[in-house]
Amino acid sequence: MATLYISHPVFLEHVTPLGHPERADRLRAIDRILEHERFQSLQRDVPPKATMEQLLFAHPEEHILDVEASIPMEGVAHLDSDTTVSSGSWEAASRAAGAAILAVDDVMKGIVQNAFCAIRPPGHHAEADTSMGFCLFNNAAIGARQAQRKHGAERVAIIDFDVHHGNGTQDIFWNDPTVMYASTHQFPLYPGTGAANETGVGNIVNAPLDPGAGGAEFREAFDIAILPAVEKFKPDLIIISAGFDGHARDPLAHLNLVEADFAWATKKLMDIADRTCEGRVVSLLEGGYDLESLARSTAAHVLSLMGS
């Protein structure tokens, strides 16, 4: 079966201040590289807006309404020192969550084998009632709940290899044994969470990496901590929070990964998916702020999803 690629022009309308690392050019770089003939077999689709019911999968209504009310008619408004919104941000955030939902629907129905969503704003820092770290809504959490509530998935594993710990995803599922959250990330680093002793109800697996760590340490963390835990969990769906800011070229952190490391991790997770959940994988873009390494790393990730 095919790999599905989901994106939308409205994601470019989430405008951030000049010089902000989470900028529209990130998706332009990804779109350009995925136009290469190697990716012609991708199925392509655009996402709907998530409904209020779907946003409520991860966030209380009051918070959702507060985010909507924060959207300015013009210019940029700050939710915190890092997180901004513009007039296009509400639709972009709604469709980013909608992309996760569409991907989960098509993968769970067997229409496609797996999916990659090039979306912004990203999601993994968004806690249940707090938007932060460039993130408005938690796209991975909403996708996980869609799989459970609409498709009968009993267990969903969310694997996060962004260089920053996904405090929001951990927060939302901290007490929920039906969802595993497993992350490898630089530590210490923003947002300050992700120590190895943060384990929830046994469903949270954190494998922190020291500043300066490279591919060998990253792969060891996967082999020792992440992959055995996911295999034991036996998920009905694997969701990847795919951040490519652990690349050696990225300006926001200090890991030294390269494209081959992301491809390797993707293939390892696909192997587990093949054994436990009929190959069902949904990948959602999180970070990655050097345009060249973001594009190349995304290409390696998507080629792995395609089985190339």
Q: Which residues are catalytic?
A: 125
Q: Which phi and psi angles does 136 have, rounded to 5°? A: -100, -55
CB under 8 Å to 15, separation ≥6 — which residues? Answer: 24, 76, 86, 87, 88, 89
Query: Can you count the helices (H) and strands (E) in the chain?
Result: 10, 10
The strand pair at 237-242 and 179-186 is best described as unpaired
Can you state the percent helix, strand and coil of the chain, rounding each to 5?
A: 40, 15, 45
- For the packed helices 259-276 and 291-305, what is the interaxial angle rounded to 10 degrees? 30
**H-helix segments, the chain:** 25-33, 52-55, 61-69, 89-108, 139-151, 167-173, 215-221, 227-233, 259-276, 291-305
Q: How many CB atoms lie within 10 A of CB 291?
A: 16
Count the residues in the chain: 308
Give pairs for 34-37: CB < 8 Å, separation 24+. 34/5, 34/118, 34/298, 34/299, 34/302, 36/299
Q: How far apart are CA 36 and CA 34, in angstroms?
A: 5
Tokens of 298: 């995304």
